A and B are shown apart, each in its own frame.
Chain A
Amino acid sequence: MSAIFPLAFASQEVSLLTAVVLGFLFGFTLERAGFGNARKLAGQFYLHDMTVFKVMFSAILVAMVGIYGFAALGWLDMSLLWINPTFIWAQLVGGFLLGAGFIISGLCPGTAVVSAVSGRLDAVVTFVGVFLGTLLFAVTVDVFPWLERLYDAGSLGTSLLPDLFGIPAPLLALLVVLGAGLAFLGAEKVERMFAGRYAAVENSPTVRPRLKFVVPGALALLAIGATVAPSPRPRPIIPEFETISAGDVARRLIAREPGLLVLDTRPAADTANAGLPGAQRAALDSSTVPLLTNLAAGQLVVLYDGGGKLTTLPAGWPVGPRYAVLAGGLAAWREQVLAPAAPRDASLAERERVAEQNQLAAYFSGATVAAPSAAAPPPAAAGGGGAKKKKAGGC
């Protein structure tokens, strides 16, 4: 049975338009719920204002019943939905830290956005902090191996509670609804108990009212500007070089692109790793010029070295051919084509990419030193990814 949902858009522009509309409704609803106010959000953790819990769990119940209900009716194909993969330890530790940051800042990343565009300077500062923290994680996960191990620890892939507990999804959904109902009753009771203890949330005095439109305006402009800005090209190693990805080279080799010339420019002594199939060793000096002189104009010449550190086009090389440097060099080839890493963040887009890379790896491994002309490799399996999966990523 083919389900109607999720909708598949032919055009990415239309899909992004739905993102603006649904994001608008998301932001508007959060604002109306009171989530643009850090004091109101913080009330959750001092028990006198349980709005966070009530709104969040009502929303989860409605969406959960909708998703599993529509899936049961055959209207929604759940296998096409992006489900957050489970990494037990990363999510336990990350969740605890996020909760700590939540009460320290009074906001979470999403509500910080809403609060910032409501004019709250504390939210602007919080959001700046989120940027710093994002960068901090990206850098530290690169530096500390233990952090990378924690990031991947306890991976269960796509794991759903009904499967984990062996309970049919409708029954588990019913249990969640009943449990949340009881929790709502408890939240009302707790709220009444603590209501008189602290001052009710009122707006703090206004400071610098002239900034009224500056903060959210600047934020929105920054975002829109960043989105419509032209895509920056990968930084060229020197201006006349373009770069080419390992996957692209691999596909061209599979297709036996006529005339394709692949030059291994590593020092002759560097034989630690076998080069690309069919590559010719070439020194970066005038001794290589005879190889290049009879090429058609615009003929692709792929150059690579050990680790993508190629910086100069040697003097005297003809300008007719189209030179492209293998991005990341032989190291990238080995990493991406011969031995692709398992997906770290198993978003569907990533899984699709790695699956394709694994096809390439299956083709090239074992045939890495044979020139295509000498020992013709077996015809490649159908290129490209498998079934078209939905994109995803991020938070």
Chain B
Amino acid sequence: MKPRAYWNPYFAGVVLGLVLLATFMVAAQGLGASAFPKRLIALWASGVDADWTARNVALGSYVADGAFPLRNWLFVEVIGVMLGGFLGALSAGRFRVTVEKGPRISVRARLGYALAGGTIMGFAAGLARGCTSGQALSGGATLATGSWLFMLMVFGGGYAVAWFVRRQWV
């Protein structure tokens, strides 16, 4: 089956912007993604060492006053993202178990890059207090200074490194 075509990027952007606007109107905050791993890590870490987690700079606020870190708007939102993405891919005929990669790289090497890139992003999202969703997109729409700095540097970092990993993609 031939997959359904992608939306026009500007149309997709407008829809995404309306979803983001609705999120601010309803939930008083933007959308996010990296809260999901952060809060699961906080839950796991508090099971291993509750005191360490409560004092940890990156995780402490998620377990403050005995709060359950997963009972949180952003965490539940990411579950919605999973469902929406899954049904979106399924309904478009795009659901395929496969590895996306350029023609010049092996599957194993591609997965190695994926793990390394993901690890760097997890670290970066911790340091920057958010990722492309929570900082660049949501913070950008509120015209927050740090979010715009972050967004510019995301593109800067991507272009700076792209040449070195070009074998993976093109």
Which residues of B sit under 8 angstroms from A158, Cβ to Cβ? 144
Q: How large is the interface on B (under 10, 10 to 19, 20 to 34, 35 or more residues)?
A: 35 or more
Q: Are A24 and B9 touching (Cβ within 8 A)? A: no
Question: B59-91 vs A: 1/0 string, CB under 8 Å?
Answer: 111101110101111111111111111111100
Q: Are A98 and B157 touching (Cβ within 8 A)? A: yes
Choose from A20, A121, A156 the contact partner of B76 (Cβ within 8 Å). A20
Q: Are B114 and A19 touching (Cβ within 8 A)? A: no
Question: B18-60 vs A: 1/0 string, CB under 8 Å?
Answer: 1111111111111111111111110101110011101011111
- Please judge, given known A-B contacts A223-B79, A395-B38, A395-B133, whether A59 and B16 are in contact too, CB under 8 Å: yes
Nearest CB to that of A162 among chain B residues? B143
With A121-B99, A159-B144 already in contact, 5 other A-B pairs whose C-beta atoms are closer than 8 Å = A25-B84, A29-B88, A42-B162, A85-B146, A395-B134
- Main SS at interface, chain B: helix
- Main SS at interface, chain A: helix
Q: CB of A334 within 8 A of chain B?
A: no
A113 to B152, CA, bound (A): 23
Q: Are B25 and A133 touching (Cβ within 8 A)? A: no
A366 to B78, CA, bound (A): 47
Choose from A27, A44, A120, A308 the contact partner of B99 (Cβ within 8 Å). A120
Q: CB of A61 within 8 A of chain B?
A: yes
Which residues of B sit under 8 angstroms from A113, Cβ to Cβ? 33, 36, 78, 81-82, 85
Interface set, chain A 117-170, CB cutoff 8 A to B: 117-123, 125-138, 140-142, 147-148, 150-151, 156, 158-162, 164, 169
Which residues of B sit under 8 angstroms from A26, Cβ to Cβ? 16, 19-20, 23, 31, 77, 80-81, 84
A101 to B78, CA, bound (A): 20
Q: Are A22 and B77 touching (Cβ within 8 A)? A: yes
Q: Are A56 and B136 touching (Cβ within 8 A)? A: yes
Which residues of A sit under 8 angstroms from B160, Cβ to Cβ? 96, 99-100
Which residues of A sit under 8 angstroms from B57, Cβ to Cβ? 138, 141-142, 148, 151, 344
Could you name 14 residue pairs across A and B whose Cβ atoms are closer than 8 Å? A22-B22, A62-B20, A84-B144, A93-B128, A96-B153, A106-B117, A113-B78, A118-B96, A135-B41, A247-B65, A328-B51, A345-B129, A349-B64, A391-B29
- Please judge, given known A-B contacts A98-B121, A110-B81, whether A19 and B16 are in contact too, CB under 8 Å: no
Q: CB of A273 within 8 A of chain B?
A: no
Binds B, one of A203-211, A255-263, A280-288, A297-305: A203-211
A111 to B118, CA, bound (A): 11
Q: Are A31 and B71 touching (Cβ within 8 A)? A: no
Which residues of A sit under 8 angstroms from B118, Cβ to Cβ? 101, 105, 107, 112, 125-133
A20 to B137, CA, bound (A): 19
**Most chain B CB inside 10 Å of its own CB: which residue of A30, A101, A172, A223:** A101
Choose from A34, A91, A129 the contact partner of B119 (Cβ within 8 Å). A129
**Most chain B CB inside 10 Å of its own CB: which residue of A123, A138, A308:** A138
Which residues of B sit under 8 angstroms from A131, Cβ to Cβ? 37, 40-41, 118, 122
Which residues of B sit under 8 angstroms from A265, Cβ to Cβ? none
Which residues of B sit under 8 angstroms from A224, Cβ to Cβ? 79
Question: A65-93 vs B: 1/0 string, CB under 8 Å?
Answer: 01110100000101011111111101111
Q: Are A160 and B144 touching (Cβ within 8 A)? A: yes
Q: Are B150 and A33 touching (Cβ within 8 A)? A: no
A394 to B36, CA, bound (A): 8
Q: CB of A36 within 8 A of chain B?
A: yes
A7 to B31, CA, bound (A): 16
* A256 CB to nearest chain B CB (Å): 22
Q: Are B132 and A27 touching (Cβ within 8 A)? A: no
Which residues of A sit under 8 angstroms from B87, Cβ to Cβ? 24, 28
